[in-house]
């Protein structure tokens, strides 16, 4: 006995506090910000903010850009069509820039 109280009953009364503490921890983890598994929508940036990609063409619209992208893919050059602040841009890796320009010029 702990101070004249039945120990079993005393410890059972704390079980509710343990359960509530567990729920608090789980809910804090579940609803915390900054750890989402859902991808955020992409943000538009300048043409030089795309890392290893460099702009190779500035099509007038996305349809024309997709046609140019398919032309580059046909010869084996990986290309990406992005929407930048300045408008749509066809981007390729720096190492493929010369070949891509020659392909698009022909």
CATH of the domain at 58: 3.30.70.1530
pTM assigned to the model: 0.58
* Confidence check: pLDDT of 5 > 70: no
pLDDT at position 93, please? 92
- Is position 15 within any domain? no
Q: Which residue's structure tokens are 């099509």?
A: 59
Q: Which residue has the higher pLDDT, 81 or 31?
A: 81
Q: What pLDDT score does 3 carry?
A: 60
59 sits in the region (left: phi over 0; alpha: psi -120 to 50; else beta) called: beta
Question: How far is the C-alpha of 77 from the C-alpha of 97, rounded, in Å?
Answer: 9
* pLDDT at residue 40 greater than cutoff 80: no
pLDDT in tens, 68-90: 999 999 999 999 999 888 889 99
In a domain, 37, yes or no: no
Q: Is residue 92 part of a domain?
A: yes
Contacts for 54 with CB less than 8 Å, ≥ 6 apart: 91, 92, 93, 94, 97
Residues 33, 37, 42, 45: what is their CA dihedral angle, to the nearest 10 degrees?
A: 60
């Amino acid at each position: 006995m702990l101070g004249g109280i039945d120990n079993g009953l005393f410890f059972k009364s704390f079980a509710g506090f343990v359960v509530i503490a567990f729920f608090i921890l789980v809910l804090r983890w579940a609803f915390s910000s900054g750890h989402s598994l859902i991808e955020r929508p992409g943000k538009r940036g300048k043409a030089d903010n795309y890392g290893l990609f460099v702009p190779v063409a500035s099509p007038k619209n996305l349809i024309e850009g997709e046609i140019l992208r398919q032309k580059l893919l046909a010869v084996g050059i990986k290309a990406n069509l992005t929407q930048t602040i300045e408008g749509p841009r066809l981007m390729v890796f720096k190492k493929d820039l010369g070949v891509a320009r020659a392909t698009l010029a022909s």
